[in-house]
Amino acid sequence: MDRSISGAMSYHPRIEAPELANFITTRSSESRLWFVNNPALETAILGFAAKYAERYGVKLYALAIEGNHIQAPALFPNSNRSDFMRDFNSSVAKAVTRLTPMTSGRLWARRYSNEFLPGAEDVKNQFFYTVLQPVQDGLVEKISEYPGYNCFSDAISGRKRPFSVVRWTEYNAKKRWNPELKVTDFTDTVYLKYERLPGYEHLKQKEYANEMQRELEKRRCKIVAERKAAGLGFAGRANLLKTVPGALPMTTKVSTIESHRPRVLSVCDQRRADCKAWYFSIYFAYKKSSREYRAGKRDVVFPKGTYPPYLHCKQALAA
């Protein structure tokens, strides 16, 4: 759980809600395209997703590795979203330093964003948003043309894809004293798997795959038609393969710490309103508890799913 919240320039508090799926996104600094045309890095990222999803009991519905960001709809039944994101983003940052020309500076622009998905239809909508990103962003007309990883086939087939992940910290620490150690001795096999969308558990695997294929094509055709009607085209696979890792994109989303970010994503107005009402009830209760805690009341009770803010050591001693 993120510990800091206060002041005009602070982030909103993180709330852990094990029953609600999240849509999580982390974007690179300056939106640089570090996640392109690098199979080794892509494999490393997928391996980390598998490793930490297994470690923390996370249910991944999808995962997109776009040029300058990584995002996924996911459920965190053990209320440990921040632990998963801390370890995953840290490992990805180290892999980028190891496997790309980036040798200094910060990989991530800011901490990850998360929006709650209160209903099964909302999870489904963000699932297709995730797998169809290359089409929505005008990169390719079909996801099969995208040169990078797309999780759709793995997600609808129930496939468990194996990855080898090295325990680099442990290896490097012991290698200093024993040069004979081998990387393979510190390598684990993990399996990346995706959860079936809620509401489709009753279908046989083939029925589920066929249903998802039909839905994907319907949504894809709609996106393509809208882009063409607006006079917009697609970059195409050949052009994408020319992109240099670390390059600045021609266009990108721009936001700051003060930019509006939705707390809830839903296709239903009423469901969105109900979830926002719940969110802000927790938010204001947290703010009240936080003020009392910072004022020295250490036995204050914080709302479920939130934790006390970080206190500077001098402030803590003074209290």
In a domain, 315, yes or no: no
CATH classification of the domain holding 132: 3.30.70.1290
Enumerate residue ranges in the chain where pLDDT < 50.
1-9, 313-319
In a domain, 184, yes or no: yes
pLDDT for the residue 255: 55
In a domain, 251, yes or no: yes
pLDDT for the residue 309: 81
Number of domains the chain is built from: 1
pLDDT for the residue 258: 55
In a domain, 163, yes or no: yes
Q: Which domain holds residue 44?
A: 21-268
pLDDT for the residue 1: 39
pLDDT for the residue 56: 98
pLDDT for the residue 7: 37
In a domain, 201, yes or no: yes
In a domain, 255, yes or no: yes
Task: Summarize pLDDT for 293-308 with one digit per residue, the tens.
Answer: 988 888 899 999 998 8
pLDDT for the residue 312: 54
Count of Cβ atoms closer than 10 Å to residue 77 Cβ: 11
